[in-house]
Amino acid sequence: MVKRTKPRVRTASAEMPGFIKPQLATLKSQPPSGEQWLHEIKYDGYRIQLHIEGESRKAFTRNGHNWIKRFSVIAGAFDVPGQAIIDGEVVVIHEARTNFSELQAELAGGRQDRLVFYAFDLLWLDGRDLRKTPQLARKVALKELFDAHGIEVPALYSEHLTGNGTDMFEAAAKLNYEGIISKRADAPYRSERNEAWLKIKTVQKGKFPVVGFVKDPSGVAALYLGKKEGKDLVYMGKVGTGWDRSTSGKIRKALDTVVSPKSKLSKQLKNPKATWVEPVFSAEIEFRDITSEGLLRASSFKGLLRN
Domains 34-200 and 204-306 share a fold: no
- Residuewise pLDDT in 10s, the chain (307 residues): 444 444 444 434 468 999 999 999 999 989 998 999 999 999 989 999 999 999 999 999 999 999 999 999 999 999 999 999 999 999 999 888 888 878 988 999 999 999 999 999 999 999 999 999 999 999 999 999 999 999 999 999 999 999 889 989 988 888 878 899 999 999 999 999 999 999 998 888 899 999 999 999 889 999 999 999 999 999 999 999 999 899 999 999 999 999 999 999 999 888 778 999 999 999 999 887 788 788 998 899 999 999 8
**What topology does CATH give the domain 204-306?**
OB fold (Dihydrolipoamide Acetyltransferase, E2P) (2.40.50)
For residues 49 and 18, what is the distance between their CA atoms, to the nearest angstrom? 10
For residues 287 and 292, what is the distance between their CA atoms, to the nearest angstrom? 14
What's the chain's length in residues? 307
pTM confidence score:
0.74
Q: Cβ-count burial of 44 within 10 angstroms (0-12 exposed, 13-18 middle, 19+ buried)? A: buried
What per-residue string of b and e applies to 243-269 under the rule 16 or more CB within 10 Å gives b? Answer: beeeebeebbebbeeeeeeebebeeee
Q: Cβ-count burial of 132 within 10 angstroms (0-12 exposed, 13-18 middle, 19+ buried)? A: middle
End-to-end Cα, the chain, rounded Å: 51
pLDDT at residue 8, rounded to an integer: 42
What per-residue string of b and e applies to 277-306 under the rule 16 or more CB within 10 Å gives b? Answer: bebebbbebbbbbbbeeebbbebbbeebee
Region of 62 please: left (phi>0), alpha (psi -120 to 50) or beta: alpha
Question: What are the boundaries of each domain within the chain?
Answer: 34-200, 204-306
Class of domain 34-200: alpha beta
pLDDT tens digits, one per residue of 140-194: 999 999 999 999 999 999 999 998 899 899 888 888 788 999 999 999 999 999 9
pLDDT at residue 5, rounded to an integer: 42
Q: Cβ-count burial of 162 within 10 angstroms (0-12 exposed, 13-18 middle, 19+ buried)? A: middle
Q: Taking a C-beta distance cutoff of 8 angstroms, is the pair 130, 138 a contact?
A: yes
In sequence order, which residues have a C-beta less than 8 Å from that of residue 112 and are 6 or more positions away? 70, 71, 72, 73, 74, 106
